[in-house]
Copies of this chain bind each other. A is one copy, B any other.
Amino acid sequence: MDSLQEVCEKVLALINPSKEEVDKVGALVEALKAKASEEALKLGFEADPQVYGSFAKGTWLSGEADIDLFLRVPAHVTRQEMAEKSLKIGEAVVEALGGHWIKRFAEHPYVEGWIEGIRVNIVPCFRVERGLWLSAADRSPFHTEYVMARLKEDGKSQVRLLKRFMKGIGVYGADIKTGGFSGYLCELLILRYGGFKEVLEAARSWRRGFIIDLEGYYEGRKDDARKIFPEPLIVVDPVDEGRNVASAVRPNRLGEFMAAAGLFLDRPSMRFFYPPPRIRLTSDEFSSTLSKRGTCWILILFAPLEVVPDVLWGQMYSSLRAISRFLRNQGFNVLREAAWSDEGRLNAFLVELDRRTLPKARLHLGPPVTSKESHAFLAKYLKNEDTISGPWIHGNRWVVLLKRKRIDAVELIREVFKTKASIGIRSKIAEAMDRHLEILTDGEITKAYSRSEGLATFLMDFLVGRPPWLWED
């Protein structure tokens, strides 16, 4: 077993950019800024190009440089003008530098370009005073400034280690799909605790509602912060006391980070930073493993959605929860559920039940024996073909044993989708299901296993149900 220091040194050698890489990205940054100024001037548009984000702060990982070029426009510019002109500038800049681009949407449309293998986001924001935010991106300059003023050279390496660790265990990224930790959050954690190891040590004792408040905005009134921020981890934004930098972190991601932190500290290993390749089962192996476990899988495959990833995943997770909730309300025991998408051709929901059918009989609790509803209850169940036993009296309530009409989960799900019953499937997902929908179980799932590499990996991961960093060395 390597020591923690040895592992960290190995990782740092892989993630700290070389002087050549820094110079190369630096040159691109300068070219981007110059070109953007030139294009803004052409349009007669006052837009100050600045680079914020991980490049500016020096916390990017070798081979993964992302350049965030912000076009800062005066506050009096209309949103429409800002959007239109910054798109034009962005497109022209990327093209002039020999790259290609696509239009992306966040709060505003923006340009995502690729130049010499480096991703460049060209994003407009308003030049405002701190606190007088007009758009979400307006905070970025202040974030960059805050970190740059405080993060020492060694701190940058520590941020890189933390980011790589989080990427390795799958908790990095504040996007909806991941629901994890942003880069800025990593930087604040290093500022708070001093180093990578110290963050992991601290994470071992975080409790629900733990507060990190670098600027002491909630000094002496932590309960106020907990009322304002409902999330399990609270990291007050040093440039905006009304914002939780960790608001995107979902409970499972937080738990995974805390679990991995503890295990890594006890047994340091490269696999936390670079997950080992997954074991891949053959179709036959998959099939026999699946049939042996004795549970019931329901795989729902459906057509792609033409929406940005955050919208896709927002609707995916919400619709998946609706399906689980529906099955639970019907009496099924949902063990786990998961969503998968290749963000282009195929989407999937997977639900695991402890068994496919419900018991044929169920107790039905009636009204109190002295209530007015007694007569209606007795009229309904005394002569009813679904009544198996009773009614009898338990305590002060009527009880009857009834035959259950629908006992098969797969049939029930098929019927729900066929009749388009309202169970909470979101609109875009429902539309996609109208275009193409398959509901598979048992042996049918093995066929889907051979259909797509991504889907097979998803099914394998679900079968194993264990984070890769937990696999034995």
Contacts and interface: CB of A to CB of B under 8 A. Distances in A.
A125 interface: no
B293 A393 contact: no
Contacts of A88: none
Of A293, A355, A359, A378, most buried by chain B (CB within 10 Å of CB) is A359
Q: Is the interface of A mostly helix, strand, loop or mixed?
A: mixed
B333 A378 contact: no
Contact of A395 (B204, B255, B362): B255
B295 A472 contact: no
Interface in A114-136: none
Contacts of A403: 294
A294 B392 contact: no
A465 B402 CA distance: 12
A27 B247 CA distance: 91
A393 B256 contact: yes
A175 B389 CA distance: 27
Nearest to A388: B293
A272 interface: no
A463 interface: yes
A170 to B, nearest CB: 11
A282 to B, nearest CB: 19
Interface string A182-206: 0000000000000000000001111
Q: Which of A232, A266, A403, A470 has the most CB of B within 10 A?
A: A470
Contacts of A392: 465-467
A363 B335 contact: yes
B258 A369 contact: yes
Given A259-B374, A361-B294, A208 B463 contact: no
Nearest to A360: B294
Q: How many subunits of this chain does the assembly comprise?
A: 2
Contact of A335 (B251, B361, B382, B466): B361
A279 to B, nearest CB: 14
A406 interface: no
Contact of A389 (B395, B397, B398, B465): B465
A397 B206 CA distance: 13
B294 A370 contact: no
Nearest to A266: B375
Given A208-B396, A335-B363, A389 B466 contact: yes
Contact of A262 (B370, B395, B470): B370
Given A255-B397, A370-B206, A396-B208, A389 B464 contact: yes
A395 B232 CA distance: 10
Contacts of A465: 389-392, 401
A345 interface: no
A373 to B, nearest CB: 12
A330 to B, nearest CB: 15
B355 A389 contact: no
Contacts of A232: 396
A333 to B, nearest CB: 7
Contacts of A208: 396
Contacts of A396: 208, 232, 251, 254-255, 258
Interface string A350-388: 000011000111110000011000110010001100001
A447 interface: no
Contact of A370 (B205, B354, B401, B463): B205
Interface in A270-320: 293-295
Contact of A398 (B259, B336, B398): B259
Q: Which 4 A-B pairs have the closest CB atoms?
A: A389-B465, A294-B360, A354-B359, A259-B369
12 contacts: A208-B396, A255-B394, A255-B395, A259-B393, A333-B359, A335-B363, A355-B360, A382-B472, A389-B463, A389-B464, A389-B466, A392-B466
Interface of A: 203-206, 208, 232, 251-252, 254-256, 258-259, 262-263, 266, 293-295, 333, 335-336, 354-355, 359-363, 369-370, 374-375, 378, 382-383, 388-398, 401, 403, 462-467, 470, 472
